[in-house]
Amino acid sequence: MADDSRGTAAGVDAEAVHGNEWARFLLLAFVGLPVAMTALIAAYGFIVWFLQILFFGPPS
């Protein structure tokens, strides 16, 4: 709780940001990134499948 973060408008804003820093960290680490990872792997799977349909044929 540094002194300069109180009183001014910028301070209130910064306080609000700092206050939910933990919430944002946990949300990103345990929800956001795992969802993004799953989505990327699924997209990778679909791309490989479509390439198999169009060019490669079934995996050898």
Partner 1 sequence: MKTLFAFIRRLFLRPSARIGLGVLVTGGFIAGVAAWAGFNKAMEATNHERFCISCHTMHDNLLPELQKTVHWNNRTGVRARCPDCHVPHAFTDKVARKMQASREVWGHLVGTIGTREKFKEHRIVLAQREWARFAANGSKECRACHDYKDMDFERMRPTSQVAMRNAATRNQSCVDCHKGIAHQLPDMKGAHNPAFDTLVSAAAGQRVEVGTAYFTVVPQDIFADEALSTRIGALEVAAKVKVLETKGDAQQVELALWRKNKGYGRVWYGHFGLNITSAVLDKAIARDDKFVTVLESKEDPLTGLEWQQVAAKAWIRKGSLIDSVEPIWTIARASYSTSCSVCHRQPDEAHFDANTWPGLFGGMVGFTSMDGDTAKVVLKYLQTHSSDFSTTQHGAGAPDATLQTARP
Per CB under 8 A, residues contacting partner 1 are: 14, 17-18, 21-22, 24-26, 28-30, 33-34, 37-38, 41-42, 44-46, 48-49, 52, 57-60
Contact of 52 with 58, CB cutoff 8 Å:
yes
- Tell me how far, at minimum, the Cβ of 21 lies from partner 1, in Å: 5
What's at 45, amino acid-wise? G
Q: Using CB atoms within 10 A of its CB, is residue 24 exposed (0-12), middle (13-18) or buried (19+)?
A: exposed
Minimum distance between the CB of residue 5 and partner 1, rounded to whole angstroms?
9
Location of structure tokens 């820093």: 21
Min dist. Cβ of residue 10 to partner 1 (A): 13
